[in-house]
């Protein structure tokens, strides 16, 4: 109920319905490209080359993490890795356990073998564009031609370093390669 003693606002008296628009400034992570398809014997494939992060107020993801993990049907031979494209514009580079974007160190990683999650610890150089390209550079492979033909489920989780945690999931369909 709104009341006013100002004559300019007489028409505001009484009960009014107000419309509101939520201005959300939280981080969002999207994996929009659908299922990934992997044929046994193929080189590693990107799990989502169209991955997108939206975050209107982030300057960097210092003290954050990007975690990629199998949530269903992963087998010991499966690999979640980071594609090493180089150090040029919009490229992710990998040297030992260090991860670079455009030649700048953005973090370091651990895991990715024997079904352990791939965890990238991010630093002050890890901008939105750097982390978005990092997500796009995550790959899947299984080196065994005798691997199970089961669809793997993978989760991608971003902790922004300030308490927000967002994520998505991806199905990776594994089959025989036909040539």
Dump the DSSP string for 47-79: S-TT-EEE-TT-S--TT-EEEEEEEES--TT-E
- For residue 22, the model assigns a pLDDT of 43
How buried is 153 (Cβ within 10 angstroms: 0-12 exposed, 13-18 middle, 19+ buried)?
middle
Give the integer Cα–Cα distance in Å for 47 and 112. 14
What is the Cα–Cα distance from 153 to 172, expressed in whole angstroms?
A: 6
- Does residue 64 contact residue 166 with C-beta atoms inside 8 Å? no
Q: What is the pLDDT of residue 148?
A: 85
Q: What does each C-alpha distance from 110 to 29, 67, 122, 131 come to in angstroms? A: 22, 10, 12, 16
* Bridge pairing between strands 36-39 and 52-54: unpaired
Which residues contact residue 19 at a Cβ distance below 8 angstroms, ignoring those fewer than 6 apart?
none
Contacts of 97 (CB under 8 A, 6+ apart): 108, 109, 110
Per-residue pLDDT of the chain (179 residues; tens, 9 = 90+): 556 566 665 665 566 565 655 455 688 999 999 999 999 889 999 999 999 999 988 899 999 999 999 999 999 889 999 999 999 999 999 999 999 999 999 999 998 778 899 999 999 999 999 999 999 999 999 987 777 899 999 999 999 999 889 999 999 999 987 66
121: Cβ contacts below 8 Å, ≥ 6 apart:
65, 107, 108, 109, 110
- DSSP helix/strand/coil, 24: coil
For residues 99 and 93, is the Cβ–Cβ distance under 8 A? yes
């Amino acid at each position: 109920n709104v009341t006013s003693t100002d004559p300019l606002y007489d028409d505001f008296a009484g009960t009014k319905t107000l419309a509101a628009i939520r201005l959300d400034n939280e981080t969002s992570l999207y994996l929009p490209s659908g299922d990934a398809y992997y044929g046994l014997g193929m080189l590693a494939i990107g799990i989502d080359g169209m991955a997108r992060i939206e975050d209107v107020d982030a300057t960097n993801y210092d003290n954050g993490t990007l975690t990629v993990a199998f949530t269903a049907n992963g087998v010991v031979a499966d690999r979640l890795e980071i594609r090493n494209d180089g150090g040029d514009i919009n490229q992710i580079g990998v040297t030992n356990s260090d991860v670079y974007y455009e030649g700048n160190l953005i973090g370091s990683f651990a895991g990715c073998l024997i079904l352990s999650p791939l965890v990238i610890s991010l630093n002050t150089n890890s901008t939105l564009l750097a982390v978005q390209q990092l997500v796009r550079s995550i790959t899947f492979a299984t080196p065994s031609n005798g691997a199970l033909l089961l669809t793997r489920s993978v989760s991608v989780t971003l902790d922004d370093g300030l308490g927000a945690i967002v994520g998505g999931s991806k199905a990776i369909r594994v089959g025989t390669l036909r040539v």
